[in-house]
Structure 1
Amino acid sequence: MKRKILLLTLLVCATFVRAQTNYPVVVIETNYGTMKAILYDDTPVHSEHYLKLIKEGYFNGTLFHRVVKNFVIQGGAQDSRNAPPGIQIGSGRSDMELMPEFRKNRVHKKGALAAPRKGDNENPQKKSDASQLYIVHGQKYSEGRLDTMEMVVNVPIKNQLIRTYYSPHKARLDSLAKIGEKQAFNNLLDSTLSIVDSLYAIAPGKFIWPEGVKEAYSSVGGVHHLDGEYTVFGEVIEGLSVIDKIAALEVDERSRPKTDAKIIRIYVE
């Protein structure tokens, strides 16, 4: 009976995952195991582009040429195919750049499928170098650390509102407190703080974790500081342990694995 319930649960989950995207499931076959991934509907430019490359067999036989444990595994570069050991590989292509598709709910959790890019100085628009891809390995964040990340952004915003709307009334509040006008003191304090709270609620630049993101970073992990900097266009839904295996490989000074991590093929399921 328990087995039947488990199978039914897995079937429902699989149906739910498929319902989230109009794109087919993508299979990433490597010499360290197989992963399955979905492409997101709300990043159509990237999803369509990468699906086209996948159907053409563009990534087949290439390597994960840049592997950084607790960060990402990056691959798909055309100069990595059959590359001899020790040589520098991983050149991008200027003819495959895409405008970014940043989405607040598409974050760099473990298994996120994303597009690399050139640095801000030469690429201020943050266009994707869509001739390669990377998959997030990352690390888990404690809930306390995630709360601190919110505070680092939000406390200065709240303090500025207090300085602007509370400070002008401070002398009057001190005077009321000194002469014992408790009711007047409370009324002025409440009205002042109400203004501060109302403006804080709609303050531009305030940071709040999108729904489900905080839980993802604390449970499976990720790389938060990449969010809003690189386009995430899909995620691995099966085979996360393959990422662990590749991320654990010994690498050279260029972060290339000393033992090749090969993308045997990527294809549509």
Structure 2
Amino acid sequence: MSFCLTLGTGILLSGTLTKGQDENYPIGQILTEKGEMLIWLHDETPNHKDHFIKLAQENYWDSLSFNRVIKDFVVQGGCPDTPEGFSDSPYLIEPEFNDNLKHIYGAVGAGRDDNPDKLSAGCQFYIVHDKEGIPRLDGNYTIFGQVIKGLDVLEAVATVPTDSLDAPENIITLDVNMLYLTKEQLAKLGYQVDQ
């Protein structure tokens, strides 16, 4: 399956999609006090996609927060932003770089520490806020998803006041779930799935 999505910013996305059970597509849902974001999970990064689904279904992220917010760069959350949150993560994942998946506005990627194998901390994720994208991260961090609804929420999160360590002054708690949407439901969101 292929898809095509035009974001309000004029960015056209395309790629390949695979059906889930009963022709439903797995969509990540991130709820915060600022609103809801829906995340398309790319088939091109199957291990990252599977880890995201697994952790969401286990309620792993619920009550954790966006702990790093840098306007015009990324908002990041998931596991603790400590050395242990990366290197001792129980969910280290081999990188799945794909030339078709870029750090464009709204892209969802896996955080990591500075390790030579570029292993992802499977519990740490970020969302690109830079409207021009961040090409210098391509091939260095795995992109595994794309915001398909809630770019206004991304804007609201990315512009909160932060301290000198880029942590929000007021905690932005996460509630991460999985939704399974049909092609028709995705079309209502402006997300076209072609067979």
Q: Which interval holds the TM-score relative to the shorter structure? A: 0.7 to 0.9
Single out whichever of 96-105 and 256-265 deviates more from structure 2.
256-265
SS in structure 1 at match of 2:154: helix
2:159 aligns with 248
Aligned-partner Cα distance in 1 for 2:104–2:15: 19
The residue type equivalent to 1:30 in the other structure is T
Q: Structure 1's 34 and 124: CA in aligned 2 closer, same or farther, altered over 3 A?
A: same
Post-superposition Cα deviations, 1:221-262, rounded to whole Å, max 9, x if no partner, equal: x11111110000111101111111111011111110001112
> Structure 1 residue 17: deviation in Å?
8.4
Which of 82, 97, 101 aligns to 2:96? It is 101
Which of 13, 17, 20 aligns to 1:20? It is 17
Aligned-partner Cα distance in 2 for 1:113–1:34: 15
SS in structure 1 at match of 2:90: helix
Written as runs of structure 1 = structure 2, the 5 A alignment for 1:73-112 is: 73-77=75-79, 79=80, 91-92=85-86, 93-112=88-107
User: Higher strand proportion, which one?
Assistant: 2
Query: What is the CA RMSD across the aligned residues, in angstroms?
Result: 2.6
Aligned-partner Cα distance in 2 for 1:98–1:37: 20
What's the TM-score once normalised by structure 2's chain length?
0.76
User: Higher helix proportion, which one?
Assistant: 1
Are 1:263 and 2:174 counterparts? yes
**Does the CA-based 8 Å contact 1:21-1:38 persist in structure 2?**
no
**Does the CA-based 8 Å contact 2:40-2:146 persist in structure 1?**
yes
Q: Structure 1's 17 and 28: CA in aligned 2 closer, same or farther, altered over 3 A?
A: farther
1:83 aligns with none
In structure 2, the gaps of 5 or more residues are 7-12, 20-24, 181-195
> Structure 1 residue 133: deviation in Å?
0.8
Equivalent residues, number: 165
Task: Kindly name which structure, 1 or 2, has the bigger radius of gyration based on alpha carbons.
Answer: 1
What's the TM-score once normalised by structure 1's chain length?
0.56
Deviating beyond 3 angstroms after TM superposition, the runs of 4 or more aligned structure 1 residues are 16-19
The residue type equivalent to 2:171 in the other structure is D
